[in-house]
Amino acid sequence: MSHNSSRSSGALCLTTNQLDKIRNRQCNREMKVAAAARNKAYQTAGRKALAAGLSWPSDLSYRDTYPIPESPISSIPGPWVAKEGAVEDWADIARTLRESGPAPDTTWVDVPPEPKTEAEVLRENINLELDGWPWQGCPEKLITVAPFLPNFYHSNTKNAPFKLERATQISQLWTKLMANNDLARILVDLLFQNHSTAWKFGATCRDATILIGNHINHWDMTGTVHGGGWFNNCELPRFGPDTPTDSEHQGFVASVVVVSPFRRMEGGPPSYHEQTRNLYTSMISFKTFNEFFKNVQFHRVGFLSPHHLALVIPHMRNLKVLGIYQCPLLPISETLRLLEIIETDRPLKNQVSLDFYPMYHQGPELRNGDALRVGDYGVTWDNWDHDTIKAVWALCYRILPQARKQDVDFESPHTGFRQYMDRGPCRKVPEIIDAIFDETMTPESFAALVDCHNREHMGKVKLFTDNTFIACRPEGYDAYISKYYCGRCRVLMPGMFFKYQDIFNWKTFEASLQCLGCKLTQHLHSERDHYKGRKRHIIHKWLHSGGDDGWNDTDIDRAILDYEANDIAASAIKLDNRRMKDMTCANPRDRIDKEYDEVQERINFDALGRLGYSRRSPMVHEKYIVRTKWNWYPADRARAHGV
């Protein structure tokens, strides 16, 4: 763009504003010249006065007041005072300016941009090649669209958007070993005993991911391929007139079956109606091919509950490994129920290995600086006003012995349950697991170790038993090491696993005494985040017929019929409408997607005080804080709420 002054031939046409600016510049130059002359004369007069032995004269130009002129018009020439001599015409002024020299160049010059770095150039090339890529904006390095399922979208599409060279990742050793089908089947069975060993093997190189992916079946709980879930045609009947005759439509089961949602190329995440419908179809598939399953793994299945597993798992006679990972409705409180399910109608020689990773909550992301909505409680989504660490160990006090009895490994570092414990708020996990089975440990040492997150003694038994060192504990520590009978789980356990207010006056309500593990179980069953309450209501409508013992945990044929009879699809659609209403409500603060962008309940400021009426449950990041004198927690806070 250019900005040049235009001149026409002959007389120059100037506006009034332009002429005013021209005269002002001329007057300013004349005033500056006059001021310079006065200053020079003043300096000369001062030097002469000093040479003559006189004082320096005062400068009349800096007086505060000026003599009032006799004439109302100032004698000092100004911009609006008529000058003596001939009056200049506008044409004469313009001619003078034109003869004074060429006009300054006012053309706009674009500053050249800084050269781009190699990273910026590479990023532009990648974005250009990804034009039309359906997962644009997803996390980088999207290698799989489901567990152990490589992303083959670009290789199965004409004019593939990927044109850049990809890194070479090969493993000649594993390629040769997996070329033998018998050896490959043995390796896959060993790898998929636990999810951690399988994914670590697949993460070594791209070839390893493809190799193990070729030997397992992927069941789609989202509905990506044919508008519905994909179950390798296992939902089709095996016998009868409706049995498919061609091999392409006949169902089959691999040695490992991974049931999980798929990342869809379009259409967004699945609706609740699709999730319940696919769960219903998967139950039909499990029923049809129940004798062929050996290793089944469930990953993040939204509506999967213990009642569904109780319907399908006991009928899998040849099942050896059951993996359950991060399913929303299967928290740690369901562990004992799962151990019971895999033992149902199964002889001792045909036990099932359970690899269970309970639902873990890392909390919502920090938004708009609202720190009160953020808390990585791990076990629960919201603050539940109890000591989560003691509650989890109260559950493990019953879970780990039962797992050992059934020969289920929950203690090794590569198992899902142990990784869940290491990731959560609990501390000194290996030591406490060993202490649960150590019959020689004293009650004082065990209580101090379980309460090692207490900043007063940090698990040291000498400090734990010192009533003088620990203030605000006039009652002593006997209540923590004595054993009490939980009226709900029917287990005799140390008082450390009970809320202090309950055991301090335990004789008052001895029959209703409950441990923290049972209190945590009740809280997890009543959680309302992510529509958990409404989802459980749908499951209750599907598999419950009323009464105290109305759950259908044995008759899978009836459960399949009840899906249509109880109109579960309509209930799921109603929940979809509720979710859409919450996403489009009038108040912008409440306009959120509670399934994927759920927020936490606010913590009242009274509860955040030193002696608030409720206690904030331990958070995961607290175990990584280095204790100093600046962040030490007041000791009386720990027992202000009867913990």
pLDDT at 424: 93
Q: Is residue 351 part of a domain?
A: no
Confidence of residue 601 (pLDDT cuts 50, 70, 90): confident
Nearest to 432 by CA among 410, 447, 416: 447
Q: Determine which of 209-213, 316-320, 337-341, 582-586 has the lowest per-residue pLDDT on average.
A: 209-213
- Can you spell out the DSSP letters for 331-352? -GGGHHHHHHHTTTT--GGG--
Burial, 315: exposed, middle or buried (Cβ in 10 Å; 0-12, 13-18, 19+)? middle
612-638 in b/e form (b: 16+ CB < 10 A) is beebbbbbbeeeeeeeeeeeeeebebb
* pLDDT confidence bin for 87, thresholds 50/70/90: low
Would you state the pLDDT for residue 59? 60
Cβ atoms within 10 Å, residue 30? 14
Percentage with pLDDT > 70 across the chain? 76
Residue for token pair 């599907």: 542
Looking at residue 117, what DSSP letter applies? Answer: P
How much of the chain exceeds pLDDT 90, in percent? Answer: 40
Q: How far from chain centre, in Å, is Cα 535? A: 22
Q: Is residue 96 part of a domain?
A: yes
Question: What residues make up the domain containing 47?
Answer: 1-62+73-109
Task: Specify the residue for token string 């636990």.
Answer: 194
Residue 643: band (very low, low, confident or very high) from pLDDT cuts 50, 70, 90: very low
**How are beta strands 483-485 and 492-494 bridged, if at all?**
antiparallel
Q: Over the stretch 187-241, which tens digit does the pLDDT of each residue have?
A: 889 999 999 999 888 888 778 888 888 889 999 998 765 567 889 989 888 888 8
pLDDT one-digit tens code per residue, 365-398: 766 556 556 688 999 999 888 899 999 999 999 9
Average pLDDT over residues 11-34: 70
d(CA 264, CA 274): 13
Residue 105 lies in a domain: yes
pLDDT of residue 132: 65
The answer to whether residue 91 sits within a structural domain is yes
Reported as a pLDDT band with limits 50, 70 and 90, residue 44 is confident
DSSP calls for 51-68: HTTPPPPP-GGG-SS-PP
> Lowest mean pLDDT: which of 124-133, 413-422, 543-552, 584-593?
124-133
Among residues 196, 629, 600, 166, which one has the least CA distance to residue 376?
Answer: 600
Q: Could you tell me whether strands 483-485 and 353-357 are parallel, antiparallel, or unpaired per DSSP bridges? A: unpaired
pLDDT of residue 226: 54
Q: Is residue 625 part of a domain?
A: no
Could you tell me the pTM of the whole model? 0.75
What is the token pair recorded at 431?
């030591």
pLDDT for residue 640: 44
pLDDT at 550: 84
Q: Decide: helix, strand or coil at residue 356.
A: strand
Q: Rounded CA gap, 386 and 393, in Å? A: 13
Give the pLDDT confidence of 132-167 residue by residue, as tens digits.
Answer: 665 566 555 556 788 888 776 555 555 545 444 556
pLDDT (average), residues 92-102: 71
> Residues for the chain: how many in total?
643
On whether residue 93 sits in a domain, the answer given is yes
pLDDT band at 471 (very low <50, low <70, confident <90, very high): low
Question: Cα-atom radius of gyration of the chain, to the nearest Å?
Answer: 41
Given this model, what pLDDT does residue 9 score?
Answer: 41
What is the reported pLDDT for 572? 95
Total domains in the fold of the chain: 1
- Give the residue, 87 or 436, on which the prediction is more confident: 436
End-to-end CA distance of the chain: 74
**CB-based contacts of 457, cutoff 8 Å, min separation 6:** 448, 451, 463, 464, 469, 470
Kindly report, residue by residue over 444-456, the tens digit of the pLDDT.
Answer: 999 999 999 888 8
Which amino acid makes up residue 151?
N
pLDDT at 2: 43
Position 44 in a domain: yes
In the numeric block, the tokens 């170790």 are attached to 449
User: What is the arithmetic mean of pLDDT over 68-96?
Assistant: 55
| Whether the predicted pLDDT of 605 surpasses 90 | no
pLDDT at 5: 42
482-527 pLDDT, tens digit each: 999 998 999 999 999 998 888 876 555 677 889 999 999 999 999 9
Residue 546 lies in a domain: no
Q: Among residues 297, 291, 289, which one has the least CA distance to residue 250?
A: 289
